Amino acid sequence: MTLRVLGVDPGLTRCGIGVVDVEKNRRATMVAFGVVGTSPEESLDQRLLVIATSIDEWLDQYEPHVLAVERVFSQLNVSTVMGVAQASGVVIAAAARRGIPVALHTPSEVKAAVTGSGTSNKDAVTKLVTKILRLDAPPRPADAADALALAITHAWRAGSGAAVATTGPGSLSLTPAQRAWADAEAKARRAR
């Protein structure tokens, strides 16, 4: 069975979206990618509405099995973190309305899964995403490449049983071993 994952690199100004199909042998194929952009001159409610409407369209068109979203992490710029968190909430709620499970992955988890190093830069991630998906050109902008990397990461980790959906109906179908692994991962993240 092929797993379809919609990855989202959330942000208010640029929200990267990417869809990949991943086979059991880990072969990943790009389905679509793009960026939803909003202007800082628009009001917050209008910016979130644009993101909500766009994610609804992507979910309806591509019907993913799971959504992979970048986990909000602490930065020095509080307003940036707030915007990312607000965009993430809109995306997660859209998936929840459809009963689509949602998994959260940190940037370092994504970098490690795609490049082998949790400290890789955006160029390295884009280069490996291009190679993994057998693309003729790198996906641009970097937000779209990051969304594709999130989707690949989730599919690869879910296939190994290491990471699974953390919300939604799919999280209930875990084996006892997968549930124990997911619980241990969640506990380790909370301890950070």
CATH number of the CATH domain containing 161? 3.30.420.10
- Report the binding-site residues for Mg(2+): 9, 70, 143
User: What are the residue ranges in the chain where pLDDT is below 50?
Assistant: 160-178
- Report the binding-site residues: 9, 70, 143
**pLDDT at position 186, please?**
62
Active site positions, annotated: 9, 70, 143
Smallest Cα–Cα separation from 32: which of 71, 59, 70, 65?
A: 59
Residues 6 or more apart whose Cβ sits within 8 Å of residue 124: 111, 115, 117
Give residue 165's domain range.
Answer: 3-191
Give the count of domains, the chain.
Answer: 1
Extended strands (E) in 85-126: 102-105
**pLDDT at position 190, please?**
66
